[in-house]
Structure 1
Amino acid sequence: MIKAIYYYTILLLISVLLPVTLQAQELRGRVLNAQTQQPLQGVTVSVEGKAYTLTGEDGYFEAALTRVNAPVILSYVGFATDTIFWSEAYDGSIIEVLLRSRGAVLQEVQVRGYETNRPLLQTAGAISLIEREVITRFDESSIVRAVNTVPGVRMEERAPASYRLSIRGSSLRSPYGIRNVKLYYDGIPFTEANGTTALNLLDAANIGRIEVLKGPTASIYGAGTGGAVLLEPRRAAPGESFLELGTTVGSYGLMRNTATIGIGAENSSILVQYTRQKYDGYRQQSAIDRDVLLISSQFRPSDKRTISANLIYSNLYYELPGGLTQEQFEQNPRQARGGQFGSVAQNASLDLEGINVGLKQAYRFNDSFRNTTAVYGLHKFKDNPFNTDYERNANQEFGGRTSFVLDANLGSIASTFTLGGEFQRGFEVARTYDNNGGTTGALRTDDEVVSKAGFLFAQAEFELPADIIATAALSLNDTRYEITRLQQVATRNYTYKRNFDAVLSPRIALLKQLTDKISIHASVSSGFSPPTEEEILTSDGQLNEDLEAEKGTNYEVGIRGFMLADRLSFDVVGFYFKLNETIVSRQDVSSVAVFRNVGSTDQKGIETSIGYTIVDKPAEPISLLKVWGSYTYSHFRFEEYQQNEDNYSGNELTGVAPHAATAGLDLSTRLGLYLNLTATYVDEIPLNDQNSIYAASYLVAGARLGVKRQLGTHFGLEVFGGVDNATDEKYSLGNDLNAFGGRYFQAAPDRNYYGGVMLKYTL
């Protein structure tokens, strides 16, 4: 199979790099600002990815073309890249091209959320976008800082690469890892059948764009009360063929190298990327060593069919320093958990190797009927010495998703009907041992786990009079586990089966477009979130047979749009979420997380984001200057919570800050110099259900300064440097909630620096 892929790739490269040659012809054009109709000087014009020219003072350019449909790419700082194609009918006249500023383009950006594929202004739901420009404004060794620019979302690192993702407080049941949130990569399930997501198998450089859907989205994306995250892979643009090499070095032994090859044609695109990252760590026992290989491709063999294929191979090792008490945290935040079962003594760490292969086809039968089908396979191996035990797992999984979409007219009402389903099956061999100083001791448990998750979904959209879009959706969700215990000390062997009853999850939404730049929306949706395998079968091998699925209903209203000649963008959402059978986690005496249903929670909140473009004049010395910010207010409470003799009803929800805000400034110049400033504030956070101890509030700031220059016709160079936690705050990022022995705190790095260089050669 590997040889077949190798030869297929070679043939693809030959077909792309050896086009049919024709007699050269001059393409003459002029580039204008779509908003002001003024000429743009200095626009980069790429012809078939092989030659570059720049527009002159009046926006004119000339380019030599050698074949029909030759792609010509026009790009400029602060503007959306555009691609035009030369046809045989071209008569040599001047072609006028209008480039749109990024602020204006946001009005027309298509989102995948709820499979509507509509502009964001026509999508009824709380959706936040994280574009590639946001990811690269930070150090790409971690995606945490980029995700935390989004209101209502909090991403944490208990240790480097030990991610935890919370959408509207969903980290309550996530002492580690990502749960209660469904992730997709290129429309293919990335969350496994057992409900867990190994996001650390991806590198930030593998991601082209992120869409975050907040609140229950079960109508389209299956079981989940936290939300859904849609990840788009990086791909080469049409006509773009390049080789890109990058190196970043930083404090505490950070060393990161990337190599990317991209080849894009009119009907095909392939990107191969390898990333290697090493980091000694700010704390004891917090090093990381990760290799990631991504192959992302897309082919269009006909006007009706588009095929995408992705392969991700990752080999990840990272150490776990463990939680500190408040006294230890204040005394020396860089220390690891000590004692007989300390992290260094037990080599607490995780070695994870995995390969994920996905294949997707989008087929259009005619102008009104289309289908998208995806299949994937996953192999993963985990070796995890922990402070009090040693876990070794091997996992194999396959699954698929399909959806049919019909566009129709019901009288004068344009309608879209979607029907589909998704199925996943995972098989895992899970063994736990005694941990003897970082080596396996006596076998404790030996289990075989079969996880099955699936759902059917249907959705109908209606474009009603008065610019109203109505959506009604429904899904039927089913989750099953079968655990066969082959060995357990002092206990009989047995098979445990758990089938969470199929649950209907509806969603109803309305959107009213007030103007072509402002819309309001409202929705009601219900969610169903069964326990993950790790919540039923804990890391010490104990079975939690009484755990029930969470169920909740979410109500929300919002307004988004653009004002002041598209310079001001805004998005405001208010929501009320009632969750029953809430699952919470706490640690037992051995530091193993255990899970319980505790009644219900009451969650009210406001999420806001705003941006203002002060300067947008590409021909001026300062070509772009904009400010932006986001703010989240969370009034989250336990409504009913009785634990033995203690009543926690009315207490603040554990792990959720009442107030959080992020603000930034972006500046670019005509000469390629840029500056990104970011500041984040997080209010104090309750660390236990009793609300007896809090993590202190903190304000951290960071900056990145760099320059991007084109060196001749083929080479592009970027040199950059940055600082994180410039305020040198002592804070915890990834607190251990309800930790036994008061070990709540996972210290984040103090002030640290990084710098790097990126060299791009266009073929």
Structure 2
Amino acid sequence: MYLQIADKALQEVVISGYATNRPIQQTAASVGLLTPRELERFSTTSLVPALNTLPGVRMEERATASYRLSIRGSSLRAPFGVRNVKMYLNDVPLVEANGTLPVNLIDAGTIGRIEVLKGPAGSVYGAGTGGTVRLETIRPNAGESSLESSYLAGSYGLRRYTATAATGSEKSGFLVRYAKQQLDGYRQQSAMDRDAVLLTGQLYPSDKQTFSFHGYFTDLYYQLPGALTREQYNANPRAARQINIDQKTSLSLQGINLGMGHQYQFNEHWSNNTALFGVFSFLDNPFTTDYERNANQSFGGRTQTTYATSISDLPARFTLGGEYQHSFVNSRHYENKVGEPGKLNFDDEVSTDQGFVFAQTETNLPGNFIFTLGASLNFMRYDLARVSDADTTSNYRNEKPINPQFSPRIALLKVINPNLSAHGSISTGFSPPTDSEIRPSDGSFNTRLQPERGLNYELGFRGSALQQKLSFDLVGFWFKLHETIVSRTNPDGIVIFDNAGATRQQGIEAALAYTFIQNANRPVKLFKVWSTYAYSHFRFQDYVQNDADYSGNKLTGTPPHVWLMGLDFESQFGLYANVTSNYTSKLPLNDANTVYADSYLLLGARAGIRRQLCTKWQAELYGGIDNALDKKYSLGNDLNGFGGRYFQAAPNRNYYAGVQLKFLIKNK
């Protein structure tokens, strides 16, 4: 991919999370950053391997295009999808007001940068105790107009095609990309087909203001093979659950995400950033227990105003803002008649309103300290109207307001020297139950569920040494979660949610890199090795369910140890190679800690050549291998699965190869 943000030195990388826009060395938070260089280490078919290089972040793929994202164990309550994590695309929320996060609508090749804020970020981003993920789409290079096309093919019927047109100047930039990805699947009943179109634009009418917009349309279909018992998994990991085949379980989702933003610098003191957005989606989901069909529309806005000044000749910033979302879902559940809707079971209309206001101050103090204090006040309300119910002749209405939630954060950073800083923070967060947790597929309305509340303490060090060849990032945290929401599956296959006392989550996250060579004028432009490690000592507290006491047990679905290593090589001639290993320790699959998924060691690599063929043409040829050691493992386990059905097998050794051509119409 040539359309990318230019690489910058570590000291110049600016983190926009927490509304600070500071170099990462001066950011008082645990932050994971993926630039184009890190994203392009893997194939562009999925964000899973790139996100999993960040310590404390775990992205799983239960079925093809069915993802679960965890930050420091936040997937405990997520049998599918994403919970407890806030996600933004170009400053526009991807998490809808009802808690739905359709991350599978995002095509990995359209993303150019990812920031992950680990731990509660409610002081600026509202609900979510796991963290916040900020995605930025690819953008055109200034002064360049180009056409680009690519093709990739791989094991198990993988095909991917992209076409891109882009133009950029000092006053504007526009890009449109089409991507189609298809897969026959490693397992039975696991085919996938996705079409995605991205349109982005930026206008710079003056030095003071910027207009931006994006439109993202996705048409996605994928099959659901279902989880296997250990015996089935050992006998044939490629098999699907028989009832999934019989009922033709799948998911079809069409979505449109629209966003527009305006940034204005009034003067040297005052600035404002405002975004408006709308989301529309349509879902068809034949499952083993029913057939769900719904239509969703959501809209909202976010604004923040910043005042920059000096106090005793030291810089200070004050930020005030807010965010609001409204969503309306018409959800109908039918009997599943072999992949077709049968008799209507119930018809719901769900309205959700969610919003918050926030304030933050950031002040430089004497002695090279940076102090941050922020807080948000959050509001939320669910309104359910049961329009039709096969089990009753009367309609009814239920409303579930969530009590206002206050989420403060305090942080202090010390710049010890230009190459070393230390930071500490105390933050709180909350996470309300989502629509699918309050309203499971059996038609019930779970009014008992309460929001989770979390308190987080964190201490970290970040810096570089040996003439900046060695870089490191080390953080330790202690997190206590109350009213923890956990999931279990009943005999009918319905996922039910309950509040389960508390959890205590302590951990260490470390990243280390050594760059032997980084010089664009040498035959070897880049030679770098790196490693990341996460230790997670996560335990249940005060957790009793059906007379069983799970207090002290390990947190379900979180491996205690995850260790990655990598090597990056790039030459002046255009040859490059990236190698990655991933060790994940065994992890508990149920709250009782009686069943574990085995540990595994993965090895993958991508190598290729990028060349300027002539003045107008650029080309890239590449190939890669995943799971080179041919390990059998389950990446997206079903936690607390009924009947011992826990395992969703990942592909064994597989390959891919691709070609990319770019034609420069204009180049500065």
SS at match of 1:514: strand
Give a deviation string over 1:678-706, Cα, whole Å, max 9, x none: 10010001000000000000001001110
Q: Distance in 2 between matches of 1:452 and 1:606?
A: 36
> 1:141 corresponds to which letter in structure 2?
T
Deviation at 1:503, TM superposition (A): 1.1
Q: Distance in 2 between matches of 1:308 and 1:173?
A: 35
Q: Distance in 2 between matches of 1:624 and 1:227?
A: 32
SS at match of 1:145: helix
SS at match of 1:388: coil
Alignment partner of 2:75 out of 159, 168, 171: 171
Alignment partner of 2:336 out of 410, 435, 455: 435
Q: Distance in 2 between matches of 1:174 and 1:281?
A: 23
Deviation at 1:617, TM superposition (A): 3.6
Give a deviation string over 1:449-481, Cα, whole Å, max 9, x none: 001110000000110011100000010011110
- Alignment of 1:552 onto 2:454: yes
Deviation at 1:645, TM superposition (A): 1.1
- Alignment of 1:390 onto 2:294: no
Q: Distance in 1 between matches of 2:518 and 2:341?
A: 61
Deviation at 1:367, TM superposition (A): 1.0
**Corresponding residue of 1:242:** 146
Deviation at 1:296, TM superposition (A): 1.0
- Alignment of 1:593 onto 2:521: no
Deviation at 1:647, TM superposition (A): 0.3
- Alignment of 1:675 onto 2:581: no
Deviation at 1:411, TM superposition (A): 3.0
* Within-5 A mapping of 1:420-459: 420-459=321-360
Deviation at 1:410, TM superposition (A): 2.5
Q: Distance in 2 between matches of 1:637 and 1:624?
A: 42
Q: Distance in 2 between matches of 1:489 and 1:272?
A: 46
> 2:282 corresponds to which letter in structure 1?
F
Deviation at 1:532, TM superposition (A): 0.6
User: What root-mean-square deviation, in Å, do the aligned CA atoms of Structure 1 and Structure 2 show?
Assistant: 1.2
Alignment partner of 2:264 out of 343, 349, 363: 363
Q: Distance in 2 between matches of 1:589 and 1:136?
A: 43
- Alignment of 1:233 onto 2:134: no
- Alignment of 1:650 onto 2:552: yes
Q: Distance in 1 between matches of 2:114 and 2:596?
A: 31
Q: Distance in 1 between matches of 2:194 and 2:72?
A: 30
Q: Distance in 2 between matches of 1:517 and 1:108?
A: 12
SS at match of 1:237: coil
SS at match of 2:244: coil
**Corresponding residue of 1:42:** none
Deviation at 1:665, TM superposition (A): 0.3
- Alignment of 1:665 onto 2:567: yes
**Corresponding residue of 1:19:** none
Alignment partner of 2:216 out of 299, 312, 324: 312
Q: Distance in 1 between matches of 2:474 and 2:304?
A: 31
Deviation at 1:592, TM superposition (A): 1.6
Give a deviation string over 1:528-574, Cα, whole Å, max 9, x none: 11001110011232211100100010000000111111111111110
> 1:669 corresponds to which letter in structure 2?
S
- Alignment of 1:740 onto 2:642: yes
SS at match of 1:535: helix
Q: Percent identity?
A: 53
- Alignment of 1:460 onto 2:364: no
> 1:487 corresponds to which letter in structure 2?
S
- Alignment of 1:708 onto 2:610: yes
Q: Distance in 1 between matches of 2:468 and 2:663?
A: 35
- Alignment of 1:292 onto 2:193: no
**Corresponding residue of 1:511:** 413
Q: Distance in 1 between matches of 2:657 and 2:528?
A: 24
Q: Distance in 2 between matches of 1:206 and 1:534?
A: 28
- Alignment of 1:484 onto 2:399: no
> 2:368 corresponds to which letter in structure 1?
D
Deviation at 1:488, TM superposition (A): 1.4
SS at match of 2:231: helix
Q: Distance in 2 between matches of 1:526 and 1:164?
A: 23
Deviation at 1:128, TM superposition (A): 0.7
* Within-5 A mapping of 1:148-227: 148-227=52-131
Bigger Cα Rg: 1
> 2:86 corresponds to which letter in structure 1?
K
**Range with bigger deviation, 580-589 or 491-500:** 491-500
Alignment partner of 2:45 out of 138, 141, 151: 141
Q: Please, what TM-score do these two structures have when normalized by structure 1?
A: 0.86
SS at match of 2:417: coil
SS at match of 1:521: strand
Q: Distance in 2 between matches of 1:106 and 1:512?
A: 18
Deviation at 1:123, TM superposition (A): 0.7
Q: Distance in 2 between matches of 1:521 and 1:458?
A: 21
> 1:530 corresponds to which letter in structure 2?
P
Q: Distance in 2 between matches of 1:130 and 1:592?
A: 37
Alignment partner of 2:311 out of 401, 406, 410: 410
SS at match of 1:107: helix
Alignment partner of 2:180 out of 256, 270, 276: 276
> 1:606 corresponds to which letter in structure 2?
I
**Range with bigger deviation, 740-749 or 106-115:** 106-115
Q: Distance in 2 between matches of 1:683 and 1:198?
A: 28
Deviation at 1:487, TM superposition (A): 1.3
Give a deviation string over 1:307-327, Cα, whole Å, max 9, x none: 010000000000110000000
Q: Distance in 1 between matches of 2:523 and 2:89?
A: 39
Deviation at 1:137, TM superposition (A): 1.2
Alignment partner of 2:232 out of 328, 332, 339: 328
- Alignment of 1:347 onto 2:251: no
Alignment partner of 1:580 out of 458, 476, 482: 482
**Corresponding residue of 1:750:** 652
Q: Please, what TM-score do these two structures have when normalized by structure 2?
A: 0.98
SS at match of 1:651: coil
> 2:467 corresponds to which letter in structure 1?
A
Give a deviation string over 1:698-721, Cα, whole Å, max 9, x none: 001001110001011010010000
Alignment partner of 2:443 out of 531, 541, 544: 541
SS at match of 2:180: strand
SS at match of 1:257: strand
Length, aligned pairs only: 663
SS at match of 2:591: coil
**Range with bigger deviation, 616-625 or 405-414:** 616-625
SS at match of 1:196: coil
SS at match of 2:448: coil
Deviation at 1:388, TM superposition (A): 1.4
Deviation at 1:132, TM superposition (A): 1.4
SS at match of 1:328: helix
**Corresponding residue of 1:471:** 372
Give a deviation string over 1:589-608, Cα, whole Å, max 9, x none: 12121100010000000001
Alignment partner of 2:533 out of 612, 631, 638: 631
> 1:483 corresponds to which letter in structure 2?
L
SS at match of 1:534: helix
Task: Could you tell me which runs of 5 or more consecutive residues in structure 1 were left unpaired when the two chains were aligned.
Answer: 1-45, 50-74, 82-101
Deviation at 1:206, TM superposition (A): 1.1
> 1:488 corresponds to which letter in structure 2?
D
> 1:408 corresponds to which letter in structure 2?
T
Q: Distance in 2 between matches of 1:731 and 1:147?
A: 19
**Corresponding residue of 2:320:** 419
Q: Distance in 1 between matches of 2:316 and 2:521?
A: 44
Deviation at 1:576, TM superposition (A): 0.1
Q: Distance in 1 between matches of 2:278 and 2:441?
A: 25
> 1:264 corresponds to which letter in structure 2?
G
Q: Distance in 2 between matches of 1:584 and 1:620?
A: 54
Q: Distance in 2 between matches of 1:541 and 1:203?
A: 33
